């Protein structure tokens, strides 16, 4: 199975809009939403059939047994995450605890134990016609996004043995969840926008992806909103020898279609036509490799 990942660096350039349209156009039998702390792909995918839900456990977190605690303060002193809250009763702030287990280890009276902690929920949808859709939702304010992203991809791969293509919607940024989403994919499609911010963020995600040795192509969304910047992006790709796979125009119709819970491949519109051409270019490059 070949895996195509959509990334952007900058948020809001159109990853989910593009990914959802490509999933429809390619009829990919496997897809995933790796933007686990702000997932949106499910809003336009409309998968019918079974949904398998599973709690996702991050690292166990510390818990102080107030009955045993002698208030000696050892844990307070060694915790580097400011997770130990002292007061009438010493307790752990589970949002700050990163689960290193040092407090449990050094507590002289054995008052601290590590307890399992649910950090999110994994969802696996199986539509008899469309195929597999893997997604997740991280619990508010949690920090193990990279591990959850890896789980989302793992359950997609495990469930889709006969799919030839998987399309994966990524998250913005260049950190932990993005690095986890890049591992093992065959091609990254970066969608950027013609602005100073879009270019700066594209440079950083390109750098990140290249360090990991990935194959990359670039396309520009809302390309006509600043033609000068779009040309700059095109030139930059040429200089860096990154294949440039096309331009998608700003299209007010796109907002209306997405707000109906549809993808841009479901209704005729200028942005949808442009995405079709980007998709064909990307597939040509991917199939040559």
Partner 1 sequence: MRDVITERTKMKIAVLSGKGGTGKTMLSVNLAAVATPSTYVDCDVEEPNGYLFFKPEDVRPEIVSVLVPSADPNICNGCKECVRFCKFHALAHSGEHLIVFEDVCHSCGGCSLICPLNAITEHPRTVGVVESGRSGEVTIHTGRMNVGEAAGLPIIRKLMKKISESGQERIFIDCPPGSSCTVMESIRDAEFCVLVSEPTIFGTHNLEMIVELVRTFDKPFGVILNKRLDGEKDPSEEYCHRNCLPILGKIPFDHELGILNSEGKIASRENGRFFQMFKDIYDHITECVSI
227-240 and 196-211 helices, crossing angle to 10° = 20
Q: How many CA atoms lie within 13 A of 269 on its CB side?
A: 21
What is the DSSP code string of 39-94? --THHHH---SEEEEEEEE-S-EEEE-TTT-----HHHHH-TTS-EE-SSS-EE-T
Q: How far is CA 213 from CA 66, 75, 104, 240, 254, in A?
A: 50, 42, 40, 14, 34
Closer residue to partner 1 in complex, CB, 10/29: 10
- Gap between the Cα atoms of 95 and 141, Å rounded: 7
Residue 251 neighbours by CB under 8 Å, 6+ apart: 269, 270, 271
Binding of partner 1 at residue 258 (CB under 8 A)? yes
Out of 26, 117, 134, 142, name the contact with partner 1 by CB under 8 A. 142
21-29, 166-174, 231-239, 276-284 -> range binding partner 1 (CB under 8 A): 166-174
Binding of partner 1 at residue 99 (CB under 8 A)? yes
Binding of partner 1 at residue 195 (CB under 8 A)? yes
Closer residue to partner 1 in complex, CB, 138/278: 138
Out of 65, 141, 231, 240, name the contact with partner 1 by CB under 8 A. 141
49-57, 85-93, 141-149, 150-158 -> range binding partner 1 (CB under 8 A): 141-149
3-state secondary structure of 105: helix
The footprint of partner 1 on this chain (CB under 8 A) covers a number of residues equal to 61
Query: Footprint of partner 1 on residues 107-136 (CB under 8 A)?
Result: none
Binding site for partner 1 (CB under 8 A): 8-13, 16, 35, 37-38, 40, 43-44, 59, 78, 80-81, 95, 98-102, 105-106, 138, 140-143, 145-146, 171-176, 178-179, 193-198, 200-201, 204, 207-208, 211, 225-226, 229, 252, 255-256, 258-259, 261
């Amino acid at each position: 199975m070949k895996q195509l990942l959509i990334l952007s660096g900058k948020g809001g350039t159109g990853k989910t809009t593009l990914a959802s349209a490509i999933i429809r156009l390619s009829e990919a039998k496997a897809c995933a939403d790796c933007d686990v702390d702000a997932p949106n792909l499910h809003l336009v995918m409309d998968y019918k059939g079974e949904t398998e839900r599973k709690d996702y456990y991050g690292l166990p977190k510390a818990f102080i047994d107030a009955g045993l605690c002698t208030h000696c303060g050892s844990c307070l002193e060694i915790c580097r995450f400011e997770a130990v809250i002292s007061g009438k009763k010493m307790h752990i702030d589970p949002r700050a605890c990163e689960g290193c287990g040092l407090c449990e280890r050094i507590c002289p009276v054995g008052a601290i134990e590590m307890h399992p902690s649910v950090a999110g929920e994994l969802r696996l949808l199986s539509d008899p016609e469309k195929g597999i859709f893997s997604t997740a939702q991280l619990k508010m304010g949690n920090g193990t996004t990279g591990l959850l992203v890896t789980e989302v991809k793992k359950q997609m791969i495990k469930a889709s043995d006969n799919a030839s293509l998987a399309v994966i919607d990524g998250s913005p940024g260049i950190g932990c969840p993005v690095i986890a989403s890049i591992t093992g994919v065959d091609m990254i499609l970066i969608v950027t926008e013609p602005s100073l911010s879009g270019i700066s963020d594209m440079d950083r995600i390109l750098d990140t992806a290249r360090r990991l040795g990935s194959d990359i192509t670039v396309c520009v969304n809302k390309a006509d909103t600043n033609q000068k910047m779009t040309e700059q992006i095109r030139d930059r790709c040429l200089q860096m020898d990154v294949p440039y796979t096309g331009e998608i125009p700003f299209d007010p119709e796109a907002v209306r279609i997405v707000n109906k819970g549809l993808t841009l491949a479901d209704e005729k519109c200028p942005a949808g036509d442009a995405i079709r051409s980007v998709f064909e270019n990307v597939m040509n490059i991917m199939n040559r490799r």
